[in-house]
Amino acid sequence: MSSLASLLSARIEAVAGIDPELRSATRPQFGHYQSNVALRLANSEGKPPREIAAQLVAKFEISDLTEPPEIAGPGFINFRLRTDVLTQAVTDELADPHVGVSQTSNPQVVVIDYSSPNVAKQMHVGHLRATVIGDCLRRVLSMLGHKVIAQSHIGDWGTQFGMLVEQILDEGIDASTLTLPEAEALYARASAHFGTDQDFAVRARRRVVALQAGDEETRNIWRELINVSLAGFNEAYARLGVLLTNDDLAGESMYNDDLPEVVAELERSGITVVDDGALCVFVEGFAAPMIVRKSDGGFGYSATDLAAIRHRVRNLHANRIIYVVDARQSDHFDLVFAVARKAAFLPDDVITEHVAFGTVLGTDGKPFKTREGTAVTLNTLLDAAEEQAAPPVALAAIKYADLSNGLNKDYVFDVGRMVQTTGNTGPYLQYAHARVTQVLRKATARGYGEQLKVLVLEEPAEQMLALLLTRFGDVVEDVGSTLQPHRLCNYLYELSGALAIFYEQCPVLQSSGAVRDSRLALCLATKRVLASGLTMLGIEPLERM
RNA sequence: GCACCCGUGGCUCAACGGAUAGAGCAUCUGACUACGGAUCAGAAGGUUGGGAGUUCGAAUCUCCCCGGGUGCGCCA
Name the residues in A254-293 having a C-beta closer than 7 Å to nucleic acid strand B.
Answer: 275-278, 280, 287-289, 291
Q: Is residue A371 predicted with pLDDT exceeding 80?
A: no
pLDDT band at A4 (very low <50, low <70, confident <90, very high): very high
Residue closest to sugar C1' of B71 by CA: A328
Is A132 a residue whose pLDDT tops 80? yes
Q: Shortest CA–C1' contact from A356: which nucleotide?
A: B5
Global pTM exceeds 0.90: yes
How does DSSP assign A149-218, residue by residue? EEEB--B--STHHHHHHHHHHHHT--GGG--HHHHHHHHHHHHHHHHH-HHHHHHHHHHHHHHHHT-HHH
Spanning CA of A77 to C1' of B74, the rounded length in angstroms is 60
ipTM given for this complex: 0.94
> Which positions in strand B are less than 7 Å from the protein's CB atoms?
1-7, 12-16, 18-20, 23-26, 35-41, 55-57, 69-76
On the question of pLDDT at A363 being above 60, the answer is yes
Distance A163 CA to B12 C1' (A): 44
pLDDT at A449 over 60: no
By CB atoms closer than 10 A (0-12, 13-18, 19+), residue A235 is: middle
Supply the DSSP symbol for A275. E
Q: What is the pLDDT of residue A366?
A: 81
| E runs forming strands in A263-395 | 272-275, 278-281, 290-293, 320-326, 351-357, 360-361
How large is the average pLDDT for residues A261-283? 95
Q: Give the containing element (helix H, strand E) for A394.
A: helix A391-403
Q: Write out pLDDT tens, residues A89-130.
A: 999 999 999 999 999 999 999 999 999 999 999 999 889 999
Average pLDDT in the A264-284 region?
95
CA A360 to C1' B9, in angstroms, rounded, equals 25
- Tell me the pLDDT tens digit for each residue of A12-38: 999 999 999 999 999 888 999 999 999
* pLDDT band at residue A372 using 50, 70 and 90 as cut-offs: confident
Confidence at residue A364, expressed as pLDDT on a 0 to 100 scale: 77
Q: Name the CA radius of gyration of chain A, rounded.
A: 28
Euclidean distance between CA atoms A71 and A49, whole angstroms: 10
Per-residue model confidence (pLDDT) at position A28: 87
- What confidence score (pLDDT) does residue A455 get? 86
The confidence score (pLDDT) of residue A450 equals: 58
Residue with more model confidence, A2 or A78: A78
- pLDDT tens per residue across span A150-176: 999 999 998 899 999 999 999 999 999
The distance from CA A227 to its chain's CA centroid, rounded to whole angstroms, is: 27
pLDDT in tens, A482-514: 999 999 999 999 999 999 999 889 999 888 888
The reply to whether A516 has its C-beta less than 7 Å from any atom of strand B is: no
A445 — pLDDT class (breaks 50, 70, 90)? low
- Phi, psi of A286, deg, nearest 5: -110, 130
Decide if pLDDT at A204 tops 60. Answer: yes
Q: For chain A, what is the mean pLDDT?
A: 93
pLDDT digits (tens, 9 = 90+) for A322-351: 999 999 999 999 999 999 999 999 999 999
What DSSP element (H or E) covers A282?
none
Mean per-residue pLDDT, A420-438 = 93
pLDDT tens figures, A281-325: 999 889 899 999 999 998 989 999 999 999 999 999 999 999 999
Q: Which residue is nearest nucleotide B68, judged by alpha carbon to C1' distance?
A: A365
Nearest nucleotide (C1') to the CA of residue A78? B19
pLDDT at A285: 87
Residue A1's pLDDT is 52
